[in-house]
Chain A
Amino acid sequence: MITAWFSLVVLCWVLFFVLEGFDFGVGMLGPVLGRDDHERGAAVRTIGPFWDGNEVWLVAAVGVTFAAFPAWYAALLSGLYLPMAALLLLLAARGVALEFRGKGDGARWRRRCDTALALSSAGIVALWGAVLGVLTHGLALGADGEVTGRGPARSLAPLATWPALAGAVLALFAAVLLGATFLALRTTGPVHARARRASVRLGAGGTLALGAAGMLGLSRPVLAAAVLCLGVTLVARHGRELVAFGATAVGVAGAVVAVFTVHGDVVLRSTLDPAWSLTMTGAAATAPALRLLSVAGAVVLPGVLVYQAFSYWVFRRRVASERVPS
């Protein structure tokens, strides 16, 4: 049952990174690909009905981690105190920028919201990417399961490492590619043309960069990512937008699963002493709590998936920039 719950936690994180990944990407690309108020409006409109539902997967991921693995939740969030506080502030700025954009008055107001949206999206993606990088590397966990050390440096130091930096860069790239393929899929007109071009170029650039990195480091996952980027480039060139978006999403999902399972049943590695690492069993809640969660999850989650799919179906029509009222 513990493994099942670990899988569910990972699934929630995967859904968050894939679904919010594309709306973070659209947030960053909107001001670049949209040349005027209407076009930028169309870009934001492609994610308008979905982003809140997507962000709910973050609430679910954190909530389920807390519920099923309280020790993991406690160690990770207190150990990365300052980055988490920064993430929350950026998420707050982004959420209101999105919701308030269409409710204010005038193009200047919308322009400001677009800038806030792009900057906060980039910051959030970079920080989450860094956190994923930290997860592959581990934290300085002590015997009590808490990160050792004191002071602001304690929670900032893990971010100043190579895995964290690599995570941030890769996450930014992945989100932009997801955003570009999603925009290509969801728009018509000039935004659509630019998004298509962007996805081809990003895919080609990614293929080269990842291919070179993979050969240098001879790392198989990186080579696999390069092959995937090549595939995305090819299908995007041929106008198969759904396939291109789907392939990018699968790639991101694969990367997230890889990060969470890189140390086997260790959910948080201790960089000080392997014996202090947090394992699935060590971090898990008691059996009655997990049983309760299983019942709730089995009843509720299928329903969630059905009505979220319904909302994607309702808003399946492409967004044209002319349609958005100014």
Chain B
Amino acid sequence: MASNKNINITLKIWRQKNAKTKGNIETYKLDNVSTDSSFLEMLDQLNEQLVGNRQEPVAFDHDCREGICGMCSLYINGQAHGPAHKVTTCQLHMRSFKDGDTIYVEPWRSKAFPVIKDLVVDRSSFDRIQQAGGFVSVNTTGRTIDANATPVPKHDADRAFEAAACIGCGACVASCKNGSAMLFVGAKVSQYALLPQGKVEATQRVLSMVRQMDEEGFGNCTNTGACEVECPKGISLENIARMNREYLFASVK
């Protein structure tokens, strides 16, 4: 049941004016936070307080607040998207915290995700990986064959969907001690590798996407599995294995 409680908290937040300046942790006190509020609503409340005191609000990324757009980020007490399991920051609620708690809030930490301001980072490297081959080259004409002309086994369609559920938030990269993007890339490669529609270009796709991933400065996977643990959508490590398999086959072709 909804708790309808209010708590007082202390926030230790990373403030950084822009990509060129050094950042530091600032401390803020925030009272009367409803435990029914989401973490981002708590930050809204902080920002109202800051702007009310004629201070600059904390910049953070967010949009749909329904756990699906992947825009929200944040390291909360050293965990990507905070302490709750399989949720994005926007779906993390303040009932996960106690009265009097001190909460550390930091941006994603990865060389490939440079800080833009405060808690906002640049994740466009993900877009460039996708642009390198994360698609099926089909003309947008609607003159394709009937959708039911190529049956897809339910099992394959379901696995493809599970991989495609990746929201590209970057928690996998931020959680990885190597800053590896392999869970994200593995999910994209898997989605198309599992469907007949993506087969023709499979070789080129995995080679191009992996090359781009390396060029963007992401680290390598050492099978620690932190990415899977912290992934808000429960994207499985199997996808990395599938990508490695695809990559191996593509390399020897």
Q: Do A and B bind each other?
A: no
Contacts from B to A (Cβ < 8 Å): none
Contacts from A to B (Cβ < 8 Å): none
